[in-house]
Structure 1
Amino acid sequence: MATKIPKAVPAADGILKPKKDNIPVARKNVAAKANKAAPSNRGVQQAELRDQKQHLVTANEDLHKNLSETQQRVDELEQQFSELQKENTNMKKSLNDCHVALIAAKIDPGETVGEIAQKEDQRREVQNVSRDLLNELKTFGDVASTQVVQLEAINTTIKDLTEARLGLMQERDLFSQEAAEMERALEEAEGLLA
């Protein structure tokens, strides 16, 4: 008893699906005819299936390649979008900082160039006065440093003189004690001689 080989039938989505024919063959003559016709049909069908499979494999590879390229492009676009967002955020921050600087400097964006120039002149004048004051302060600091050194030298001299005075006072006290002892000894010697 021979069975028929399932035939591939294209479906609506373009994918080949085998079709099963479950028809039993009851007679030898029909089976013999089927066996004779089957090898040629089978070879043609297998060749068509191989061609379709190769075509599908190629199409699948192309789709994967296109998908990879598209994904790579999407990643690049996302990176560019992220960079543009950062740049936009930085520009907004800079714009806000400039606005704050204008407000802090009390500059009205609608001011005339003459008013801005006048304010710039005032700012330069204040800077010059500040620089002069800083120079005077530096000079005062230098003079004060010199005077501190001189004051330390004077303090050292006073300390030395104080120590020398104390030494002289101690020597005077010793001298006075020795003179008193000599006077007593002299008086005793006079008392013995008299």
Structure 2
Amino acid sequence: MSVISAILIGLAMGLVFGFALEKSRVFEPGIILGQMQLRNFTMLKVFLSAVATGLVVLAALNGFGFVSLSPKATLYAADVVGGLLLGVGISLAGGCPGTVLVQIGAGYRDAWATLLGGIAGAMTFGYLEPTLHPWISGGPGKLTLNQLVGLPFWPVALAAAALLVVVLVLLERWRPWRGELGADVDGDTSEQIASAPAMRQRPQH
């Protein structure tokens, strides 16, 4: 694959990803904070749906030999500490690296501060990584679930995707998305239209 083709494919995937984030409302700070506080599970459902879809696509591509997988090494300290720091940052900023550009496109001016902070943090880690390496390098190396069970990637990926679908169905029955996003998530409701004349006739003080 040429560099131009890789760039075009990346841009197309980014466009689809951004469109899905915007339409699902997962980019909104209130939705993100609600997930972190376990009050709103829209973000979890969207991300689990993306993981399940990705597993099916990867299972097909890898099973037919179109792509080979290159998993990153498992590093306990880096994964745990990095995950905790990322979670704290998401909770404080109401955004994450995957949503900040969508927030900027939607007009959230404070998202610029999140973007600049993320870039500064990445640069800082880049300079400090040689010093931190002894503390964050411990782990079993490249470790995947299909290696643990001794099966090819594609059946394990399809099984994991099916399990995620079951989890998503149970989550949706427990916390329906319309109840979490609000009755007017897809536009004006009949209640809004009916209340419009009364709102116009309300006396001004």
TM-score by length of 1: 0.23
Which structure is richer in relative contact order (CA contacts within 8 A, separation 6 or more)? Answer: 2
TM-score by length of 2: 0.22
Larger radius of gyration: 1
Structure number with higher helix proportion: 1
